[in-house]
């Protein structure tokens, strides 16, 4: 099948909680699925994608306003996606597990990137709810993305921060309790544990602690930088979707961050 998506975002990029620069970008993505296979709870997909990035606002630092707008960029990419999902529900699942992976090759002429080998990226996400009692459940999660080349186009660098994975750009890794997005190094590992208490059928209290680490290479991950965070929240499951009220802190953004939302996130 073929799908097309256009999105336009005014991205604010932070560095340890301080605004570093803004980038206005319109992303056009054309996806061509060659093969898609379903077997029970398993999905495997092979596809090609054409991504065009148009920059309408300069990559401008508040400390260095001389930056000009980057040139538009076109990439032709090849991706393998896999998902295993047998969670019993979307919000606050109590059984099953979720695992996904994506391996992608990024080029600018179908076979190379800047006249060198294609950019290789591997991304994985896993979490599994573990019920402790009928009302209490704990969910560990691990999320990782590894960019295997030293030279990385700006739009494919690792981004971390915010409430949801892939909110502004597909490679964004969420960090509960953080505010804004930050560029990190080529290897990023994020792990967290969420404990929630279902004190009435539609009311939940929950707490999250998380750890994020990054480095230039996988084998240097233990020597890289690391960040801790925590998040406390309340949620009410309404017909229109969950109401969430949260307060979090992350050493990635170095400040407390309140969060309020209503409805389902797609």
If one counts the domains in the chain, the total is: 1
Q: What percent of the chain has pLDDT over 90?
A: 71
Residue-level pLDDT at 51: 96
Q: What percent of the chain has pLDDT over 70?
A: 95
Residue-level pLDDT at 16: 84
Q: How confident is the model at residue 205 (pLDDT cuts 50, 70, 90)?
A: very high
Q: Classify the C-alpha dihedral 213-147-50-155 as positive or negative.
A: positive
Q: How confident is the model at residue 67 (pLDDT cuts 50, 70, 90)?
A: low
Strands 136-147 and 130-131: antiparallel
- Weakest mean pLDDT among 4-8, 57-61, 127-131, 190-194: 57-61
Residue-level pLDDT at 61: 57
Residue-level pLDDT at 58: 67
Is residue 126 a contact partner of residue 142, using CB atoms and an 8 Å limit? yes
63 CB burial (10 A radius; 0-12, 13-18, 19+):
exposed
pLDDT digits over 134-178, tens only?
A: 999 999 999 999 999 988 998 999 999 988 898 888 999 999 989
CATH of the domain at 230: 2.40.160.50
Say whether pLDDT at 6 is over 90: yes
Residue-level pLDDT at 23: 83
Residue range of the domain that includes 103: 2-262
Say whether pLDDT at 117 is over 80: yes
Say whether pLDDT at 226 is over 60: yes
Q: What angle do CA 13, 18, 160 make, to 5 degrees?
A: 45
Average pLDDT over residues 4-33: 89
Is residue 86 a contact partner of residue 39, using CB atoms and an 8 Å limit? no
Write out the chain in H/E/C secondary structure. CEEEEEEEEEEEEEECCEEEEEEEEEEEEEEEEEEEEEECCEEEEEEEEEEEEEEEEEEEECCCCCCCCCCCEEEEEEEEEEEEECCCCCCCCCCCCEEEEEEEEEECCCCCECCECCEEEEEEEEECCEECCCCEEEEEEEEEEEECCCCCCHHHCEEECECCCCCCCCCEECECCCCCEEEECCEEEEEEEEEEEEEECCEEEEEEEEEEEEECCHHHHHHCEEEEEEEEEEEEEECCEEEEEEEEEECCCCEEEEEEEECCCC
Average pLDDT over residues 115-140: 97
Place of tokens 């393998």: 80
pLDDT digits over 74-93, tens only?
A: 999 999 999 999 999 999 99
Q: How confident is the model at residue 36 (pLDDT cuts 50, 70, 90)?
A: very high
Q: How confident is the model at residue 64 (pLDDT cuts 50, 70, 90)?
A: low
């Amino acid at each position: 099948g073929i799908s097309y998506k256009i999105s336009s975002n005014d991205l604010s990029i932070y560095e340890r909680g301080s605004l570093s620069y803004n980038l206005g970008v319109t992303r056009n993505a054309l996806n061509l699925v060659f093969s898609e296979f379903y077997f029970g709870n398993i999905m495997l997909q092979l596809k090609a994608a054409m991504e065009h990035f148009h920059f309408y606002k300069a990559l401008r630092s508040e400390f260095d306003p001389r930056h000009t707008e980057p040139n538009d960029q076109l990439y032709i990419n090849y991706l393998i996606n896999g998902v295993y999902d047998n969670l019993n529900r979307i919000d606050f699942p109590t059984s099953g597990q979720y695992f996904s992976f994506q391996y992608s090759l990024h080029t600018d002429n179908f076979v190379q990137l800047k006249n060198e080998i294609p950019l290789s990226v591997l991304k994985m996400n896993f979490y599994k709810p573990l019920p402790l009692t009928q009302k209490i459940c704990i969910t560990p999660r691990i999320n990782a993305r590894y960019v295997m080349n030293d030279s990385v186009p700006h739009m494919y660098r690792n981004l971390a921060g915010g409430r949801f994975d892939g909110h502004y750009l597909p490679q964004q890794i969420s960090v509960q309790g953080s505010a804004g997005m930050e560029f990190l190094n080529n290897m990023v590992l994020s792990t967290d544990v969420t404990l929630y208490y279902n004190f009435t059928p539609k009311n939940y209290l929950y707490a999250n602690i998380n750890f994020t680490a990054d480095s230039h290479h996988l084998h240097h991950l233990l020597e890289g930088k690391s960040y801790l965070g925590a998040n406390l929240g309340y949620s009410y499951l309404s017909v229109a979707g969950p109401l969430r009220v949260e307060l979090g802190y992350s050493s990635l953004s170095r400040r407390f961050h309140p969060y309020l939302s209503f409805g389902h996130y797609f």
